[in-house]
Amino acid sequence: MAIDARLKGFLRRLARPLWRRIWVRIEARLMPIDDRISSLENRITPLEDHMQTLEDRITPLENRIPTLEDRITPLENHLQTLEVEWQENMPALLNTVSTVGAFGHELVHIRRDLEEKIAALRQEFDAISREMRPDPESRHSD
């Protein structure tokens, strides 16, 4: 054992100067990293505080989600019903809208036809009225 202790002591004395030189370089490289870590830790604290504030604001919103889902479900069902009815009735509506123009055109023709018939009836009425009137010249001749 004495040899092991002596060997360890000798190796320590031999390695100590080398280790000190290496350690100085290692520390020189680690110092900027330590400074950077400290800087990041200082910047993280306000972010953590802000995150906690946001979590506090989110909690009531999360609690409202089930209530909103309960309100949305009937609306979605109603919307689905409206979509089905829309798809069923839309072709008939489009057909009706497309026939309005044709119907108006047909009404114009019917109106013209009726106006012509009314004019013809007036002429016929006037002719019959003239025939039924007594002739003023025939009275004077009697």
Provide the pLDDT for residue 136.
64
Number of H helices, E strands in the chain: 2, 0
Structure tokens at 42: 């200082």
The letter for the amino acid at 47 is: L
CA–CA separation, 51 and 59 (whole Å): 12
pLDDT > 60? residue 142 = no
Q: What is the pTM of this model?
A: 0.36
Q: Please, what sign has the CA dihedral across residues 10, 13, 19, 21? A: negative
Summarize pLDDT for 95-116 with one digit per residue, the tens.
Answer: 888 888 888 889 999 999 999 9
CA–CA separation, 31 and 121 (whole Å): 116
CA–CA separation, 33 and 62 (whole Å): 40
Give the start-end residues of each E strand in the chain: none
Structure tokens at 136: 């003023």
Summarize pLDDT for 41-67 with one digit per residue, the tens.
Answer: 888 889 899 999 999 999 998 899 899
Provide the pLDDT for residue 140.
55
